[in-house]
Amino acid sequence: MPGFELFGNKEREQVQEVLDTGVLMRYGFDGMRNGHWKAKELEAELTKKMDVKHTHLVSSGTAALTVALASAGIGAGDEVIMPTFTFVASFESILALGAVPILVDVDDTLTLDPNAVENAITDRTKVVMPVHMCGSMADLDALQAICKKHGLLLLEDACQAIGGSYQGKPLGSIGDLGCFSFDYVKTITCGEGGAVITNNESYYQNTHKYSDHGHDHLGNDRGAEKHPFLGYNFRISELNAAVGLAQIARLDEFIAIQKRNYTILRDALSQIPEVVFRRVPDGGEENYSFLNFFLPSEEAAQKAHEALGVNGVDGCFYWYNNSWHYYRKWEHLIASKSLGKLPKDVLDTLPDYTKADFSASDKWVGRNISCLIKLGWAEEEVHERAKKMMEAIKQTL
C-alpha cells in the first residue's frame, strides 16, 4: 500500500486508450469511444472480484459512503452508528445527508465494539457502519446479529481494506452495502475514486441514479433521460476508472507483497513480549496494509513511536494524537463548526461530545502504533526495517 508505488505500463496503456478517444466522461459520446467504456469495465471487474451482484463507481470513498446511505433512504434525523477511530469522511458523509453520526467505542480489533453498538441504539437508529480500519475487519457476525435483531442496515466502510476477507467473503460484500476508496494512497488507486457494492437491486438502482443528478439511464439519449428523484454529481471520470482498471488486475499481486512484508515485520516484533497485536476476528484475513500492535501503556506507545522516527523508521502512526483519524482532535465535529447552518435535525439530536466518555477507545488507541506496509520495499529492506523497529521499541521498554 499504496498502489501508486507500482505504477507501470499497464496503467499507462489504459489511460492512453482514453486519451486517444478524447472521451473523458463515463456516459454518452458512444460514437467517439472506439468501444472503450473504462468505468463499466472496472465495475464489471469489481463485481466479479467482490462476488456481488452490483457495483457502481463514484468520485471518491466519501462519495461512496454518502451515496450508499442515500440509496437506502437515510436522511434528516436518522442516526448512524460509527466508530471513534476512523477517517473524518465517515461523519462527513452522514452529516451531508442531514443524518446524525453517533460515535461509539472501538475494541481490540480497532473497530466497532459490538457491545457499545448495542448500547447506542435508539428508536432513531437506522444504520450500523463498521469501518475496517487499517486493513482489518470488525466482528461482523456480532454486528450482523445486532442489525437483524433491531432491523438495521449494515453498511461496511471497507475503504482501507480492499483485498481483506471474512469467513471467505471479501470485505465490503458482507453487509447490505459496502464502500471502497480508490484515492491516491489506497491499495488500489484510481487517483481519485470510490465504489458502492451491493446485492440489493433497489439500492443499486438508487445509487447509479443519485450519483448522476437523478438520471434514470434508460434509453440511448442522455438528454431525454428522466429524473425520478433528486440527485447530485458524484461521477467518476474515464481517466480515473482507466487507472483503476489496470490496478484491480494487480490486486492479488499487491496483497501477496503486503502479506510478505507484513509477516516479516510481525515475526520480528513477536519476539518482544510486551508487544501485543490487534485482534483479527476468527475467520478473518487482513489485507496486510498496516501492522497494528499495542504496547503496555500510552506512555510506552508514545515513546516507542518517537524512537521509531529517530531510528529512521518512517510510516508509523500514533493515531491517538492524529488530527484526522481519532475523535479527540475532531473539534470541528464536537463544536458543530460549519460554513452554513446545520440542519435542525442535526443540531437537536447530535450528542454533546464534549461530555462523552470514550475511555474504552482510549485504552486501545492510546497504546496502539500502526505501521504502513509498502509495496515498493525489497525483501532485504524489510528485514533491515524489522531490525530497526525491534531496536527502537526495546530501547523504550
Catalytic residues: 186
Phi-psi region of 261 (alpha: psi -120 to 50; beta: other; left: phi over 0): alpha
Angle at 65 between CA 351 and CA 108, to 5 degrees: 65
Q: What is the rounded distance in angstroms from the CA atom of residue 329 to the CA atom of residue 317?
A: 15
SS3 sequence of 84-130: CECCCHHHHHHHHCCCEEEEECECCCCCECHHHHHHHCCCCEEEECC
Rg (CA), the chain: 21
Report the C-alpha dihedral over residues 183, 188, 189, 194, rounded to 10 degrees. Answer: -50
Q: What is the rounded distance in angstroms from the CA atom of residue 154 to the CA atom of residue 131?
A: 11
Q: Which residue has the cell 487482513?
A: 286
Asked whether the beta carbons of 84 and 110 are under 8 A apart, the reply is no
Close Cβ partners of 250 (under 8 Å, ≥ 6 residues apart) = 3, 6, 10, 188
